C-alpha cells in the first residue's frame, strides 16, 4: 500500500497521549477515544492529506462544514502504513462535502470490532492530533468562497445558521 496521511475528525482532548500512556503501558487503551470512531455500515470516514500537508486546512474545513456551524475542529493524522499491520482495508469513496474539489480525498476504512480496537490503539500510538480554531476556519471559509472552492451558502454557517 502506498503511504499516505489520513485524517479523522475528533475531539482532541479525548486523545491526549500523556493521559493514554498508563493504559498503553498496561497493553490497554482508554475508552474515551471510541466516541470519535463511530462507524456506519462498518465504514469509518477519513480523508487523505498530502504528505507536505498542504491541503490539511482545506480538508479540516471540508469536514467542519459538515457540522451545524463553523467551530473549532479537532483532528487526528496518521500514516496509512500502519493499516496494513492491522489488516484494515482502505476504500476510495467520494466525499459529500460542500467543497467539491476536496471530495476526491475522501476515504473509508473497512472495520470490524477487532479492527476498530486495533485502529484505536494504532492511532493512540502513532497518531498526531491537532485543532484548527474557529477564527482560522472562518478565514478559510471566506477564502474558499472567494476562490470558488465553496458555494456562497457556506457563509451562513459562520454564525451558526
Partner 1 sequence: MSNTDFNETALSPGDKAIQAESSTALPQDTIETSRRRAKWLAALVLGAAISTGQVPPFTHPYGRRREEFPAESSTLAAGVDPVLLQNVKDLFEKGASEFFHDGMDSNFSRSLLSLLGSRAADALSAIAEYLSGNEGNPEVVSEALRWVAEFGGPDTLPKRWSILRRGLKSRFPVVRDGAILGFAALDDPRAHSLLLEARESEQIRELQLLIERVAARLEHRR
Query: Pick from 7, 56, 64, 120: which binds partner 1 (CB under 8 A)?
Result: 64
Query: Pick from 4, 23, 24, 71: which binds partner 1 (CB under 8 A)?
Result: 71
Smallest gap from residue 149 Cβ to partner 1 (A):
19
Neighbours of 55 (CB within 10 A): 19
CA atoms of 29 and 122, how far apart (whole Å): 10
Smallest gap from residue 29 Cβ to partner 1 (A):
17
Torsion angle of the four alpha carbons 103, 110, 38, 129, in this order, in degrees rounded to the nearest 10 = -70
Q: Could you say whether residue 95 binds partner 1 (CB under 8 A)?
A: no
Query: Pick from 5, 6, 9, 48: which binds partner 1 (CB under 8 A)?
Result: 9
95 φ/ψ sector (left φ>0, alpha ψ -120 to 50, else beta) = beta
Binding piece for partner 1, criterion CB under 8 A, among 22-30, 70-78, 92-100, 147-155:
70-78
DSSP structural state of residue 148: T
Map grid coordinates 458555494 to a residue.
151
**Cell numbers that stand for 102 in this block:** 476536496
According to DSSP, the residues that pair with 34 across neighbouring strands are none
Q: Could you say whether residue 66 binds partner 1 (CB under 8 A)?
A: yes
Mapped onto helix, strand or coil, the DSSP state of residue 110 is strand
Q: Could you say whether residue 133 binds partner 1 (CB under 8 A)?
A: yes
**Cell numbers that stand for 120 in this block:** 484505536
Comparing CB distances to partner 1, the nearer of 34 and 103 is 34
Comparing CB distances to partner 1, the nearer of 83 and 140 is 140
**What are the residues binding partner 1 (CB under 8 A)?**
9, 11-13, 15-19, 35, 64, 66-74, 129-131, 133-136
Amino acid at each position: 500500500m502506498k503511504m499516505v496521511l489520513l485524517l479523522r475528525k475528533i475531539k482532541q482532548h479525548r486523545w491526549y497521549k500523556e493521559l493514554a500512556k498508563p493504559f498503553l503501558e498496561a497493553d490497554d487503551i482508554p475508552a474515551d477515544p471510541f466516541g470519535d470512531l463511530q462507524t456506519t455500515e462498518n465504514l469509518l470516514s477519513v480523508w487523505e492529506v498530502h504528505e507536505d500537508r498542504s491541503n490539511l486546512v482545506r480538508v479540516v474545513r471540508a469536514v467542519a462544514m459538515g457540522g451545524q456551524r463553523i467551530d473549532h475542529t479537532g483532528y487526528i493524522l496518521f500514516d496509512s502504513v500502519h493499516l496494513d499491520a492491522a489488516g484494515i482495508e482502505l476504500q476510495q469513496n467520494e466525499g459529500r462535502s460542500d467543497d467539491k474539489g476536496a471530495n476526491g480525498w475522501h476515504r473509508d476504512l473497512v472495520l470490524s470490532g477487532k479492527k476498530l480496537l486495533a485502529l484505536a490503539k494504532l492511532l493512540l500510538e502513532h497518531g498526531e492530533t491537532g485543532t484548527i480554531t474557529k477564527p482560522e476556519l472562518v478565514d478559510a471559509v471566506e477564502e474558499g468562497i472567494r476562490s470558488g472552492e465553496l458555494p456562497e451558502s457556506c457563509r451562513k454557517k459562520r454564525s451558526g445558521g
